[in-house]
Structure 1
């Protein structure tokens, strides 16, 4: 040891090597610290690993999915509350619904990065849901509105003639305004226990960083590696009763769907576009449906589309839509046998690492299911067992939820 110290003191080259060593260790620690205050630990491998590393990301992806699913669960809870509020105020002459819901899973995971000190083991779904509900404000305002209404009445004039005159009367209406609003990220931090300047900075920094990143693209399962923007191509529609659209098609793949491109987040609009184009005389493309979906509040930032896109979107394009439970495979088979397509929200499995909509377009004589998967031609060309589709369908609504939608003209 004395020899090493003596050599260090008098040997400039040795001092230089040791200095470089210390600097390398310091920079490594600094990079790790910056990563911990800039990104959730469960997203680092998902975002920054390359396909060649062959890392097992399944555990991290499953944890991210819990936060994504919570956004959809709260959306469903909001809508259940709205329906209850409508019934409680059914005596009103008019009911107005103002629904401003834009909670993101990035907000939830940013908060937990601080609360859990980046330790995402044994996640409590109920606790995450309770945090999500702190973002929500619900209220019902009752008001009275007055307006002048014109009406006609027959009178007899001074000459004994009947004449029609227009008069006005004051009409009073009782109006219930049902409101759901999302509180800003910064305004929720104190309520969830993030109170120090340091923790507020970390949570806000993480939220700003991951909100601007295309995480959805990392959760899709495409044919081959991740999609290269510079190598997008056109896909033929095929000759099936339902045309095939691919969300990565160069005609629309790079167009925006909220904060992400259609190729990353547009499986919902692409699936609905296929069904609408096949069942109606209105040939719509994914970019048209994506634009409508975004403008009408069906885009779930960072998590694709709300399920309401299927019900409201189908009705918007003139179709009858029936939601079906994942416990009712016979209804799915009958619809397909009758020639009616079905869109299904898939959970993690062979079709997606997160969430993904696909189209069921038919059934073979052997009972196999024919599909259109907007992210994969390879999967679209296969015949599938119904059991796989039923088992891997989304459980966001619970095991008895309804992630299937039958479309009829």
Structure 2
């Protein structure tokens, strides 16, 4: 029988996980010096040795039931298919063609604005901010080299565009995690989320236009192939019309294979190899998801989730207060783990409890989780996004912070949406 009384000590595994990951980064200056898998395994061991009233075998079974929760397993399957699609599309040149297509359509004096828009489209299509940054960062460096636009502004702009798609893409792991933990539908969450962050994107474009107006360059795009862009467009359209995410991703993989083999980019064996690479590339997030599912289940059973509920709801008097609590929880967790997906998976169950207690629409709670986690992830200088961009540009990741317009603005828009109770659902 579950423990109904909240217990602070039950949160020890989570505290251990955060201290190992964050503490090692603060000590070494490298927030990836402690492998996150090692940190969560140690946290899992701590969770398993707690609660001596239970036998170790029972605790293992409970851990396994948490890791094998249907929501967790569906998330894992989606991660696998998303990885396969992204790798297969990238392997046939879809990313390069998409980038070059966009560059060829942009006026020279709107290159920085264009970088943001291109990053938004690619990340929305690929579902990965780090992949988008890796593809666009060299182009951003080239633009800065041909103009007087600073490298920091160029790289931060790419990160902003990448976080747009990370927050909204149907195949982004953050979207998948937010939707699954809150038990809502992707298309419904997208509609709510999109209109909350749209003003942030528009204001970002205006700011970038003002900052770089009059700059011209000799940067030229290379050849592109319309056919190679079709898989991204197809996945985007299919997802927007509400097709099941499994069908969308499987269809995208098949379409990518057909186009890739028809134009000679792939042989059948190379296509299968790209799919395999994409699946294995998702191994870490899959293992993390399973282990966190098990740890969270033990924390819940031992009274940790109940304690957090009691703590966070103690001074909450309204639905608005509960929504701000969800935003604060996911933001603080993201600051600690430097991983927006993990922060959503970790705080998702608690957010769902708060939503049910205070009658928050599931679409809104999923959007809050995704918006605020992506905001923090796009700003912190020790996140993967900033580290990749800074490494390519040869600059300090700290220099990117003043130009993080979009990540900052989506947090502001998210806070305003909570404050004014936007959007208003029919049952409100």
Structure 1 or 2, whichever has the larger Rg, is 1
Q: Same fold (TM over 0.5)?
A: no
Q: TM-score, normalised to structure 1's length?
A: 0.27
Greater length-normalized contact order (CA 8 Å, ≥ 6 residues apart): 2
Structure whose residues are more often helix by fraction: 2
